[in-house]
């Protein structure tokens, strides 16, 4: 691996779903990169293509109907899209790993959790049953499950939501992956447990130096853990930025709307600000910028032709908007 290479580099990724009603273009030219020890947050509302991006990177898109129609996914310099399904499967587990939103449904209900963690070692490292189980207990301790030794034979439904997510994390980091994708890991959890899980992920990352992609729609979660942030809308990254400047000065109207819609304690009693309208139908995208029907800054150029391309506005910050960086001055 040469110095210039990123751990993961996604270039111009396109994904479409071929449905009976037509072709839904879920991802339209997404590009980003991630280095070791770095945390990238992918932010967006439901249906913006966050999870599909993650599944495309992992190579676990349901196909059909989902197809990767273009772009490359470079992992340590290897284009995963060019690998055979078999070769690609070898990356999942030891190199790339993923955790999901609902840890109860992500764990197999008919097997004890210890068995499921141990399976990782038995499949990938051909370890025998008792060694694998011992490793599973160590891992359960690592993700801070109390009384791991006793609980190793319990079933998923016997754990609370936070504990289940810890088990899922234990499975995901079992083989020391280089990259962990966390697809809304805390959405199903209450706020205190959310913080614990994020702390745990952060701690594990510091220990192993893995790259972390955090998919979320929660701006609060992002602020505390991410180094960089990519905001997705209708299958495009509309803004990507280091974490601090984004909160201070959003470049894209969508990001600005998102930040304004966060409930604030110092504005108690006032109406919440919301972005009007709905995300576009992927089967019938508006002409021009996909955000234009909901954008209060939109002008004629936004409503016709191709969507605006992503451009570097400041060092380390890109945005796909004609008005990027000039939002304050634009007529609202």
Q: Is 154 in the site for another protein (CB under 8 A)?
A: yes
Contact of 158 with 104, CB cutoff 8 Å: no
Contact of 9 with 37, CB cutoff 8 Å: no
CA distance 208 to 132: 20
Least distance from C-beta 161 to another protein, angstroms? 6
Counting DSSP H helices and E strands in the chain, the numbers are 11, 12
Least distance from C-beta 47 to another protein, angstroms? 18
Beta strand pairing call for 8-19 and 96-99: unpaired
Site string for another protein, 110-129 (x = CB under 8 A): xxx------xx--xx-----
Q: Is 151 in the site for another protein (CB under 8 A)?
A: yes
Name the token pair of 248. Answer: 């201070």
CA distance 130 to 220: 42
Residues of the chain by 3-state class (helix, strand, coil), percent to 5: 35, 25, 40
Q: Is 3 in the site for another protein (CB under 8 A)?
A: no
CA distance 94 to 305: 44
Least distance from C-beta 144 to another protein, angstroms? 6
Cβ proximity to another protein: between 172 and 246 the closer is 172
Q: Is 92 in the site for another protein (CB under 8 A)?
A: yes
10 Å CB burial of residue 81 (0-12, 13-18, 19+) is middle
Site string for another protein, 38-77 (x = CB under 8 A): --------------------x-x-x---------------
With CB under 8 A as the contact rule, the residue among 75, 100, 121, 297 that binds another protein is 100
Select the span of 18-26, 128-136, 186-194, 230-238 touching another protein (CB under 8 A): 186-194
With CB under 8 A as the contact rule, the residue among 14, 37, 144, 217 that binds another protein is 144
Q: Is 162 in the site for another protein (CB under 8 A)?
A: yes
Q: Is 202 in the site for another protein (CB under 8 A)?
A: no
Cβ proximity to another protein: between 138 and 158 the closer is 158
Contact of 103 with 145, CB cutoff 8 Å: no
Least distance from C-beta 104 to another protein, angstroms? 4
CA distances from 310 to 30, 32, 289, 318 (A): 10, 11, 11, 6
Q: Is 133 in the site for another protein (CB under 8 A)?
A: no
CA distance 332 to 330: 6
Query: Which residues would be at the binding site for another protein (CB under 8 A)?
Result: 58, 60, 62, 89-94, 97-100, 102, 104-112, 119-120, 123-124, 144, 146, 150-151, 153-155, 157-163, 168, 171-172, 174-175, 190, 192-193, 195-196, 199
């Amino acid at each position: 691996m040469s110095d210039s290479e990123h751990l993961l580099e996604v270039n111009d990724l396109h994904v479409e779903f071929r449905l009976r009603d037509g072709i839904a273009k879920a991802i339209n030219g997404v590009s980003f990169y991630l280095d070791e020890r770095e945390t990238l947050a992918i932010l967006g509302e439901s249906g913006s293509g966050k999870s599909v991006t993650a599944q495309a990177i992992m190579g676990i898109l349901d196909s059909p109907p989902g197809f990767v129609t273009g772009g490359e996914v470079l992992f340590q310099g290897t284009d995963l899209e060019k690998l055979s399904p078999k070769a690609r499967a070898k990356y999942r587990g030891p190199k790339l790993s993923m955790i999901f939103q609902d840890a109860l449904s992500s764990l197999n209900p008919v097997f004890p959790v210890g068995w499921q963690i141990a399976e990782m070692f038995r499949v990938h490292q051909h370890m025998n049953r008792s060694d694998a189980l011992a490793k599973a207990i160590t891992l359960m301790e690592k993700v801070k499950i109390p009384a791991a030794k006793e609980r190793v034979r319990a079933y998923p439904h016997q754990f609370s939501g936070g504990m289940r997510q810890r088990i899922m994390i234990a499975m995901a980091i079992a083989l020391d992956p280089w990259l962990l994708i966390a697809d809304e890991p805390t959405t199903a959890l209450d706020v205190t447990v959310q913080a614990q899980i994020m702390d745990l992920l952060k701690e594990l990352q510091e220990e192993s130096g893995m790259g972390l992609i955090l998919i979320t729609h929660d701006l609060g979660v992002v602020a505390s853990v991410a180094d960089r942030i990519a905001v997705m809308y209708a299958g495009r990254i509309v803004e990507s930025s280091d974490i601090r400047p984004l909160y201070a000065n959003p470049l894209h109207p969508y990001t600005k709307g998102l930040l304004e819609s966060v409930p604030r304690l110092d504005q108690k009693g006032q109406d919440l600000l919301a972005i009007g309208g709905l995300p576009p139908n992927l089967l019938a995208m508006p002409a021009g910028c996909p955000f234009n029907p909901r954008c209060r800054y939109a002008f004629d150029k936004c409503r016709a032709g191709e969507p605006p391309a992503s451009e570097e506005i400041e060092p380390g910050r890109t945005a796909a908007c004609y008005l990027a960086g000039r939002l304050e001055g634009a007529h609202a």
